[in-house]
Structure 1
Amino acid sequence: MKDRKVDSLKKFFLNDHMEYDCVSIAWLGQAGFIFKYNEIVLIIDPYLSDYLAKKYKGKIFPHIRLMDLPIKPDEISRVNYVLSTHPHSDHMDPETISILSETHRNCNFIVPGPEKEEAIKRGINKDQIIEAYVDREIEITEEIKIIPIPAKHEEFKVNKDGEHSFLGYIFKFGDTSLYHSGDSIPYEGLVDKLKRIPVNIALMPINGRDEYRLSNNIAGNFLIPEVIKICQEANIKKLIVHHFGMFSYNTVPEKRLSLLKTKNLDNLKILVPEVNHIYSFKVSTN
């Protein structure tokens, strides 16, 4: 995987920074990423505001950003698809998605089906929404397809029709597959799903979970040993970790991140992403 540093993510959206038959990835902080494949730009879970700091001001967890905005929503010059894995506001941020919806009227927004009305309330124009349901493939182009799968954010959130509000997405770029888990913990059947695809690269949160956070309505995520185990059992060769460095109460100690950066595993390469870096890998199109 190539690693290229840029002065600003604004340059990432320009055609002259395009590598054909490569997927380029840029981290936005928290669980947010930009994916660019040929002419198509997809953004998942962008949190590009201080919405939560305002919402939780004076509360036990004030949600003050530790990380500067890597790019403002109105600086994103082009985007074809925006995805939300679930309705928590650091993944479906009203101050980000409303601006993107208004300024990119040809952009589609992929959201969990049961959360369509919530997405509209947060500022997405209803005619731009594509509803996502578990195991129903979404075709973007002949070369790009997306498969929603369940996510267990401490628990599954399912409506009376059995439809999931917490999702992960498997992106198929040609014959190369990338898994963004959304916010999740391990659950029975996850490894088998990932093996069947099969998945080449996983993007998974590592901020963990504990009773204190859960008792204060902060649902948790994978522990570091869990994401490594899942990748090894599912034969995933590359892991990009995330969901750290945004809020002080819900991050990963720097010492653990440093250990991850130097962790040497024979069958798994681990990347701790940095803002203003573009990571790219060649896609198999056989």
Structure 2
Amino acid sequence: MATRNNPERTPERLMEEIRGTRLPIGCIAVWFFGQESMVIKGKETVIHIDPFYSNYLEVRGVKRVYPPLLKPESITVADLCLVTHEHEDHLDPWTLKVIAKQCPKARFMAPLSCRPELETSCEMKPEQIIDALTGEWLELDGNNGEQIRVKPIPAAHESIETTGNERAHRYVGYLLDINGVKVYHAGDTIVYPGLPELLAEEGIDLGMLPINGRDYFRTSRGIVGNMNIREAAELAKISHMDMVVPLHYDLFAGNSEKPGNFVQELYERYPEQKCHVMARGERFVYASPWSFLTE
């Protein structure tokens, strides 16, 4: 039974929570919806990252471990959607098509190779789409005058690939600068040469990293891999992330990992590294180390 301390987590209730959350400078709110689907809110701006809110893959016999916590038709607040690559659990056409229709002011950033599908399957207008060209910060107008910055960076899933343009990577992660907080959403990637140094230079407050790893048997079934728990822990530490959140471990039985193993890895090797394992549909408020400080 729903109570004040344990409200029913319906899609409508979650959207009310996202819409109504207000935060001071130096803080962001983050919601987790499985795999790598995240919602981030700064002061006013709502950003969906890899929104996978449908049962799209079930038509191909791929079943989720648990049903979507949000439904595409429930999405009424979206200022920006970031898509990391074209795999259906990241670029979900059933979800993106509905968001584009219900949130006409929303803009969608994705690798250049995703543009044809966004324009056709998702029925987006060309001007709604921003190509995620890597290596440069892009300043965007958020909601109600809030300024945000986005910087796509290459991801290696499991290799780095470009599509004709050296900045047009097939797989990307995103750096976000929003409400005084620097965020890194890795997308699907392994650790590649230069990535730790690139992230260390940026000064990441909150890092979100896949932990499901890769192995011969999954590769033989066509499942493309990511960094494992040891690599994710090491990356968080050596790139000086203030806090790390594990992703990509819970939605498909054949490609999962135990987030407790990631926590244990950090505890044994880097006990000073802050981390947070998010419950399904949880709102987590991250406060940067300098927030709430008085002079």
Q: If the length of structure 1 is used for normalisation, what is the TM-score?
A: 0.89
- Amino acid of the structure 1 residue aligned with 2:151: I
Hey, which of these two has a bigger chunk of strand by percent? 1
SS at match of 2:31: strand
Aligned match of 2:148:
144
Tell me what 2:132 maps to.
132
User: What is residue 38 of structure 2 aligned with on the other side?
Assistant: 33
Corresponding residue SS for 1:273: coil
Q: CA–CA distance in 2 between the matches of 1:265 and 1:123? A: 43
Alignment deviations for residues 221-252 of structure 1 (CA, whole Å, 9 cap, x no partner): 11000011111111112110011111110011
Q: What residue in structure 2 maps to residue 188 of structure 1?
A: 193
Alignment of 1:83-102 (within 5 A): 83-102=82-101
Partner of 2:22: 18
Encode CA deviations 1:88-146: one digit per residue, 9 max, x unaligned.
00000011101111111111011112321122222141231111100122212464201
Q: Contact (CA 8 Å) 2:229, 2:261: kept in 1 or not? A: no
Q: Which runs of 5+ in 1 are unaligned?
A: 58-62
CA separation of 1:152 and 1:254: change in aligned 2, threshold 3 A: closer
Among 235, 240, 248, the residue aligned to 2:245: 240
* CA distances 1:39-73 after superposition (whole Å, capped 9, x unpaired): 10000001111111212x2xxxxx21102211111
In structure 2, distance between residues paired with 1:254 and 1:191? 22
Measure the CA separation in 2 of the matches of 1:255 and 1:39: 33
**RMSD of Structure 2 on Structure 1 (CA):** 2.3
Give the Å deviation of 1:20: 3.1
* 2:177 is aligned with 1:172: yes
Change (3 A) 1:167 1:183: same
Stretches of structure 2 that go unaligned for 5 or more consecutive residues are none
Q: Contact 1:13/1:76 (CA < 8 Å) preserved in 2?
A: no
- What count of residue pairs does the alignment treat as equivalent? 276
Give the residue type in structure 2 aligned to 1:185: I
Distance of 1:111 and 1:164 partners within structure 2: 10
Percent identity of paired positions between Structure 1 and Structure 2: 26
Partner amino acid for 1:151? Answer: A
Distance 1:269 1:5, change over 3 A: farther
Cα-to-partner distance string for 1:175-213 (whole Å, 9 max, x where unaligned):
421100000001000011101111121100111101111
Distance 1:130 1:65, change over 3 A: same
SS of equivalent to 1:140 = strand
Residues 270, 100 of structure 1: alpha-carbon distance in 2 compared, 3 angstrom cutoff: same
Amino acid at match of 2:44: E
Letter aligned with residue 154 of structure 1: E
